[in-house]
Amino acid sequence: MTIADLTAYASSKYHIEEEHKWNDFPGFSVLVNPFTGKWAALLMRKWDQNTGSEIEICDIRCGAQVLKEIRETYLVPPFRMHGSKWVGVRFSSVTDPAVVCSLFDRAVNLEKQRGFTIVLDSQEKNHDYPYRETKLPPREAGDRRVQTSKPRQRRIHEYLADALFAGAPSDREREAAVPGMIRKMRELYSPGDGSIRQRSLNFYIQGKYMKDYEDNAPWTGNLRLFFPSYHDLNTQQLRGYFTWRAGARKGIYAKTCESYAYIFIYELLNGIGADSAEKSLDILERFMEGAGWLEAEMRENVQRWMLDFSILNGLPAETARRYMNPAIVEMDGALSVLMHPENRTDREVVSALNLLSGNKPDAMPAVQQNGEEGIHLVAEVWRCALSGCREEGQDLFMLCFGRMYSFRWSPMRNALYWPKTKPDTAEYRLDDCRLFFFDGSEWMERCYRKLYFDQDFMEGLFHETDRKLRQYLKIGRALRKRQKEAWAEPYIDAVIEADRKAKEEAARPKVEIDFSGLDRIRQDSAITRDSLLVEEPGEGQAVIIPSDGSAAPVMREKKMENDSAPDVRGNEKESGSSHPAQESSGRQEEQIPAAERILRALLNGDAVEEMVRMHYLMPSIAADEINEACYEMIGDNVVDCDGDRLFLIDDYIEELKALLDIRQSPWC
């Protein structure tokens, strides 16, 4: 049992709400007696540093004689209060809710004015009225009139019994009207020790027996019971419940009393009326959606019970997370992102930091003014510091968010639930930051608590990050350096230096090599190979055979070693004679590179295929030589090659003409 069970009982039965009277002590609260205005119970929650868990205790104003009447280890002298009216209670898995609730009942009714006075004879005593006996008729079968020793009292009881049971059916008649299933269900009840555990077992056994029962006797009264069960209802109320349940199982969620709704929910939590755990959750979800008349408190309870139910039945974590408090899901998700940021985007990392840290990175000028660049730098600072920061054996994550603590977890609190099997050892991991396990005696929850986050440490990291990024990006006003934040400076500097180098590398011109042209080069090489000189058909001649065979062989004079040798008379041969100016022009023409000649021919609109073959070049190689020579002046390719065909790129024709007209040859 926990304090929450006691406060729920006080609220349900007496409409007493827990009151927190001390802001400086949030773990202390009181339950006030509604009849006297005095404290009925002082509730206390405190953290035990030795065990790393929360301790729950309370003092109840029920009279110290309880310690003599009830011998239980969890009942002790009061912890904070003084006097003979107080008893202390330790809350744990062995604390019996039935005992504690009965003590609270005694505390509420201890000083309450109770009882009434019946005036049997209002005549004055000084009057002397003779007593007259009246003969009573003989007792009939089924007569409930009470036998007393005094005649006057007997007449009063007879009058009350006649008035109360007038027209009521006899025991035999009422018993005959009870359906056989309900009669047998009641026989399955075992009072036991009266604890909540015993009540849960009775509910499970009786509910399994009545899982398929239907009735047709509606009941429209009102019930508001704490932990309602079949045993708490009379025959008419039971028949009314099973009549309403038959419609609810068909999706007809007619408005009814709160106790009927709770019994229906308890059945589904115990697997009554559903073939599987998934089916139970599905019916519960449809019921919560279709029954708009359910109170907010009941909806909160059911939401929590569905989470507990998912964990106890080992359903997928995605299913359980649907019923968790959204704030807890969001916090666990953010912790998981910061625990493993290498697999997350920059935006996810910064969003997680915004949620968990006091100084929100989104407020930094680097993020507000530089957008994605600033987000990337902040995320990289966290990644770099997480991988490098170590202090007393703790990494950055532990320094900021502490470690996972274990707390007692009470599944199905405030519900009649009977676990069909008791797990020897069990573990249920909800996510990286929250798991539940059974340690052999009770369930525990291991998780991170925001109470133990080191906000000052995180604030120092992001203040120094903000200061350094303002300097690097030259934005905002300068921030003052804090000595206690110097530990973060190396990681921030490393991120800034890496970003600076990346920007310098991105600014350099890139030369991209298109390897897809290798096939074309191979083809051109094959063409050149096939175009090589073949066997000379005659003296002084060579034949160049085009690869496509479309043109006739080109004949070219073979230069002889003695072409220009003088004859015996000292005269040069006629074939080798030429004008001196022509010889000078020919030698000057031969000094012009072949690539420049091809480029000039292209600018003049001439076909250059023959010229390329004359110079024993492949078209692609000729194009590469032209482009390489012109790149420094033009900054781009000026010639492209398509098979055997070379052509100029139109955008650079005018620039090339101007370049060659002023004789600024790229090959000079």
Residue 666 inside a domain? The answer is: no
Counting beta carbons within 10 angstroms of the beta carbon of residue 201, is it exposed (0 to 12), middle (13 to 18) or buried (19 or more)?
middle
Residue 592 and residue 483 share a domain: no
Residue 185 and residue 73 share a domain: no
Residue 429 CA, distance from chain mean position: 13
Task: Indicate the residue type of 239.
Answer: R
Q: What CATH number does the domain containing 28 carry?
A: 3.90.1150.30
**What does the pLDDT average to over 135-157?**
44
Domain that holds residue 300: 176-321
Residue 239 and residue 102 share a domain: no
Residue 575 inside a domain? The answer is: no
Residue 294 inside a domain? The answer is: yes
Q: What is the pLDDT of residues 69-108, one digit of tens each?
A: 888 889 999 999 988 889 999 998 888 888 899 899 889 8
Q: What per-residue confidence (pLDDT) applies to 638? A: 84
Residue 114 inside a domain? The answer is: no
Residues in Cβ contact with 81 at an 8 Å cutoff, skipping those fewer than 6 apart: 42, 59, 61
Residues 83 and 130: their CA atoms lie apart, in Å, by: 55
**42-46, 171-175, 192-196, range with the lowest pLDDT:** 171-175
Residue 55 and residue 19 share a domain: yes
Phi, psi of 291 (to 5 degrees): -90, 80
> Of 295, 321, 347, which residue constitutes the final position of a domain?
321
Residue 255 and residue 184 share a domain: yes
- Give whichever of 28-37, 371-380, 417-426, 519-528 has the largest mean pLDDT: 371-380
Instruction: Quote the Cα angle for 274-325-277, to 5°.
Output: 15
Counting beta carbons within 10 angstroms of the beta carbon of residue 255, is it exposed (0 to 12), middle (13 to 18) or buried (19 or more)?
exposed
Residue 154 inside a domain? The answer is: no
Phi, psi of 575 (to 5 degrees): -65, -25
Alpha carbon separation from 619 to 191, 346, 389, 534, 547 (Å, rounded): 104, 49, 60, 21, 13
Place of tokens 């109770």: 114
> Of 293, 321, 349, which residue constitutes the final position of a domain?
321
Residue 309 and residue 330 share a domain: no
Residue 68 and residue 193 share a domain: no
pTM of the predicted protein model: 0.54
Q: What per-residue confidence (pLDDT) applies to 446? A: 93
Domain count, the chain: 4
Q: What is the pLDDT of residues 485-532, one digit of tens each?
A: 899 999 999 999 999 999 888 888 766 666 666 666 666 666 666 655
Helix axis angle for 518-530 and 619-634, nearest 10°, is 130
Residue 645 and residue 546 share a domain: yes
Contact yes or no for 445/406 (Cβ under 8 A): yes
Q: What is the pLDDT of residues 123-138, one digit of tens each?
A: 444 444 444 454 444 5
Neighbours of 578 (CB within 10 A): 12
Q: Is the pLDDT of residue 153 over 50?
A: no
Residue 247 and residue 186 share a domain: yes
CA atoms within 13 A on the CB side of 523: 12
What sections of 313-414 are H helices per DSSP? Answer: 317-321, 326-339, 346-356, 365-370, 372-388, 396-401
Residue 483 and residue 385 share a domain: yes
Residue 489 inside a domain? The answer is: yes
> Of 56, 86, 109, which residue constitutes the final position of a domain?
109
Residue 196 and residue 274 share a domain: yes
Residue 280 and residue 310 share a domain: yes
Q: What per-residue confidence (pLDDT) applies to 657? A: 81
Residue 147 inside a domain? The answer is: no
Residue 132 inside a domain? The answer is: no
Q: Is the pLDDT of residue 16 over 50?
A: yes
